[in-house]
Chains A and B, each alone.
Chain A
Amino acid sequence: MKRALGPLVTLVALLVLNAALQRALNPYYFQVLILVGINIILAVSLNLVNGFTGQFSIGHAGFMAAGAYGSAMFTLTVGQRFAGALVSAHLPQAIAQGAALLVALLLGGLLAALFGYLVGLPSLRLRGDYLAIVTLGFGEIIRVLILNVDAIGGARGLPGIPHWANFFWVFLGVAVVVAVSRNLAHSTYGRALFAIRDDEIAAEALGVDTTRYKVTAFVIGAFFAGVAGGLFAHYLSYLNPNSFTFIKSIEVIAMVVLGGMGSISGSMLAAIVLTLLPEVLRPVKDLRMVLYSLMLILLMITRPQGLLGTRELSFGRLFGRRPATEPRA
């Protein structure tokens, strides 16, 4: 009973917030909030790969694209009819659409995970710089593939996706990815991932099957990136391959790096900051990317461990009630 309390409270809180915020905020602010949520999912999922496992992947946008187009195509071909069928079976529209959306997101995530597996298996033999470039390459290949398939809109984009994603679904995604990350970090899987990050050769020498763990982290990260992509598609109602260039991958990396590679709450914080920043800077929009890049450079020179390093933000430590624990190994 106690274990179910946490998730239940979260679900209720999300439902309440969903109804309240939809009424209270103007659509522009609401849109920014949704984008914050999607970016949090992206950052936390990338943190699994870059932060926990120390594998530098710059192809996250490709997985997001796979999830986005996968879930969108499912919805446009089957999902809408499914939702319609549920409605005629006297289910309220919100639940019918929600069910269809859930299926679409899961399928999108699975497609992205599949791509993650296909990309991860060969690439994870490589190290450091090479891995980075190869993942960038794969991300671009996925994008070019999408560009060339006319059936999913190709270069002109895919319009007409039903607007099903709302605050509840996006932040449910946030809660799930954070929960999964936390649980992973505290498990033996997590120990193995950190070992790989610290010294891959030593880990291998001690019997850790590094390839298997690396690929697993990759696949899980890709799955959630796909879910984020699906939410993105069902929010914007319009997909264009240009939204998934490696610049997008770099934006997600910036969030993970700023937050501190290995820190879940750091990634969340950084995602919030880096999504709100361009909106706040809209009047000086041209300066946005310049400031972004300066931040990256200065960060690497002065504080490469980011805002939180590998530590997590917790209210206990914040208010001094608990003594600072050792940074997670």
Chain B
Amino acid sequence: MSEFLQQLVNGVTWGSVYALIALGYTMVYGILRLINFAHGDIYMLGAFIGLYTSNWLRAGEAPSPAKAIAVLLTSMAACALIGMLIERLAYKPVRRSPRLSALITAIGVSLLLENGGALLFGADPKFFPQLIPSHNIALGMGVTLSNQQLIVLVVSVVLMTLLRLLVLHTRVGKAMQAVSHNHMAASLMGISVDRIITFTFMIGSALAAAAGVLVALQSPKIEPYMGIMPGLKAFVAAVLGGIGNIPGAVVGGLVMGVAEVLVTGYLSPTYRDAIAFVLLIVILLVRPAGIFGKAVTEKV
């Protein structure tokens, strides 16, 4: 029993990371109907920028909560900028093109970030310094949680709550919702669609960056191709929850994390990558709209 609970705890921690990344996917898809393949690579960039910031601040040698927060915020800000650049340079020109072209562009951007990263940072893995020295917190019944895992959970929840507040209770948030329903109508209402799209990208990228730093905290090995799999799995999580739906992305992320850990622990670790896709196929065949999504009929 305690093994199962421990696996559950691990699953929820991973799930919250997937949720953070899935949020970015779902927001961009809601607004642009584009699967931003490059999103996973923003997560990777977030981790690397975090690494270089830590080294610059010498946070590894003299860790402190202030430095850790500084690293997180810097990484989020930098990736928000990168997200904006990508949107402006690569996605805006193909906004009117058929969906296939946009998808291929997204794949191209993803490859560019990965291989550019490999060129810039070197393809061999780097190791994130321990920004927060780890100790274990016993939760009883043989389950331990490391303080790093706890921090990941807490920060994720905080960020997700902030996002929800933003989307539901601010003007910008309402504008985002409007644009995701109908570009034309939104612009007729005086909303600058371009600006909102850019803003959405920036928020999504910042969340992915946060996920990158948080993951690097607990699994310190980072390398330029680390974003591929988590990116794909987070996309599946977003689809699971209902693409375009923000609470759905969170739920999807948690389900994905727990499913993965349980399969790895009880079945075989080598099936880990496949479980995400099996889930995807099942959900697309059974309930394509996702858990919280609404079925949309296609008009001719």
Q: Which residues of A contact B (CB under 8 A)?
A: 56, 122-123, 125-126, 128-130, 132-134, 136-138, 140-141, 144-145, 147-148, 155, 201, 250, 253, 257, 286-287, 289-290, 292-297, 300-301, 304
- Is B208 an interface position by the 8 A CB rule? no
A141-B239 Cα distance, complex, nearest whole Å:
18
A287 touches B119 (CB 8 A): yes
B103 touches A129 (CB 8 A): yes
Closest CB-CB distance, B98 to chain A, in whole Å?
Answer: 8
Closest CB-CB distance, B154 to chain A, in whole Å?
Answer: 32
Q: How many A-B residue pairs have CB under 8 A?
A: 112
Q: Which residues of B contact A (CB under 8 A)?
A: 33, 35, 90, 93-94, 97-105, 107-112, 114-116, 118-119, 232, 235-236, 239, 268, 270-271, 273-274, 276-278, 280-281, 284-285, 288, 298, 300
A257 touches B104 (CB 8 A): yes
| Chain B positions within 8 Å of A128 at CB level | 99-100, 103
Chain A, residue nearest B116 (CB): A290
B280 touches A133 (CB 8 A): yes
**Chain B facing A: main interface SS:** helix
B280 touches A134 (CB 8 A): yes
Closest CB-CB distance, A170 to chain B, in whole Å?
Answer: 27
Given A140-B274, A301-B90: A293 and B115 interface contact (C-beta under 8 Å): yes
B101 touches A304 (CB 8 A): yes
CB-contact partner of A148 in B94, B235, B271, B280, under 8 A: B271
B105 touches A147 (CB 8 A): no
A148-B268 Cα distance, complex, nearest whole Å:
9
Closest CB-CB distance, B240 to chain A, in whole Å?
Answer: 12
B271 touches A144 (CB 8 A): yes
| Chain B positions within 8 Å of A137 at CB level | 236, 276-278, 280-281
Given A138-B281, A141-B277, A297-B112: A147 and B270 interface contact (C-beta under 8 Å): yes
A289-B118 Cα distance, complex, nearest whole Å:
10
Chain B, residue nearest A56 (CB): B100
| Chain B positions within 8 Å of A56 at CB level | 100, 103
Given A130-B288, A138-B277, A304-B101: A297 and B109 interface contact (C-beta under 8 Å): yes
A126-B35 Cα distance, complex, nearest whole Å:
15
A297 touches B108 (CB 8 A): yes
Residue from A133, A134, A155, A289 whose CB has the most chain B CB atoms within 10 Å: A133
B277 touches A300 (CB 8 A): no
Closest CB-CB distance, A286 to chain B, in whole Å?
Answer: 5
Chain A, residue nearest B235 (CB): A133
A134-B109 Cα distance, complex, nearest whole Å:
20
B281 touches A253 (CB 8 A): no
CB-contact partner of A140 in B103, B104, B112, B277, under 8 A: B277
CB-contact partner of B112 in A123, A136, A290, under 8 A: A290
Given A140-B277, A300-B94, A301-B93: A126 and B112 interface contact (C-beta under 8 Å): no
| Chain A positions within 8 Å of B288 at CB level | 126, 130
10 A-B pairs, CB-CB below 8 angstroms?
A122-B281, A137-B276, A137-B281, A138-B281, A144-B271, A144-B274, A250-B107, A253-B104, A296-B105, A300-B108
A257-B105 Cα distance, complex, nearest whole Å:
11
A132-B105 Cα distance, complex, nearest whole Å:
14
A65-B208 Cα distance, complex, nearest whole Å:
33
| Chain B positions within 8 Å of A147 at CB level | 270
| Chain A positions within 8 Å of B93 at CB level | 301
A290 touches B119 (CB 8 A): yes
CB-contact partner of B104 in A123, A155, A300, under 8 A: A300
A289 touches B115 (CB 8 A): yes
Known: A129-B33, A147-B270, A297-B105; 18 extra A-B contacts, CB below 8 A, are A129-B35, A132-B35, A133-B235, A138-B277, A141-B274, A144-B274, A148-B268, A148-B270, A148-B271, A250-B107, A290-B116, A300-B94, A300-B97, A300-B104, A301-B94, A301-B105, A304-B98, A304-B101
